[in-house]
Amino acid sequence: MDWIADVNNFLKKHFFPVGRRLQDCESEINSRQLENIGRSLKELSKSMIHPAIISAGHGDHRLLRAQIQLEETAELLIALGNEDQVEALDAICDSIYAAIGTALTYGLPISEGMSRIHESNMSKSPCQEDPRLKNKNRGYKKPYLEDLF
């Protein structure tokens, strides 16, 4: 499965822009909001875990995995707010890496799960007026994941 091509097809089907540069964004207010939210999330992620838990490397890793994902999300929001393509790419790749790491940590079948989620997402009807809205019409197929466990 080529996840990048699949997501690109979904974005195009649902009228999301593809290939824009961060520097082409127009709103300074949105940039400040993104940066502020990112900084708040970064502080939250730092407060989630005591360093001794991280260094121990054993036990329940759920909080650690959540903290890693939250930190990468915070870094992405800050990079988007600063229109910094290099840092945005770094944060996106780290987020993907962290999410896959979480799936592997808990033995979750990420490849088959992604295939089924993609199939479900593509069954939604696009809304040309507002690409954030997806119409779950008669053709919508909810992803079935239960049999993977």
Q: Check whether 28 has a pLDDT greater than 80.
A: no
pLDDT > 70? residue 123 = yes
Confidence at residue 22, expressed as pLDDT on a 0 to 100 scale = 81
In this predicted model, what pLDDT tens digit does every residue of 76-117 receive, in sequence order? 999 999 999 999 999 999 999 999 999 999 999 999 999 999
Determine what percent of the chain is predicted with pLDDT higher than 90: 50
Taking residue 67's Cβ as centre, other Cβ atoms within 10 Å add up to 20
Residue whose tokens read 């730092």? 46
Cα dist from 82 to 20, 53, 104, 115, 146, whole Å: 15, 32, 32, 33, 41
- Top pLDDT among 25 and 66 is at 66
Identify the bridge partners of residue 126 per DSSP, sorted by sequence position: 134
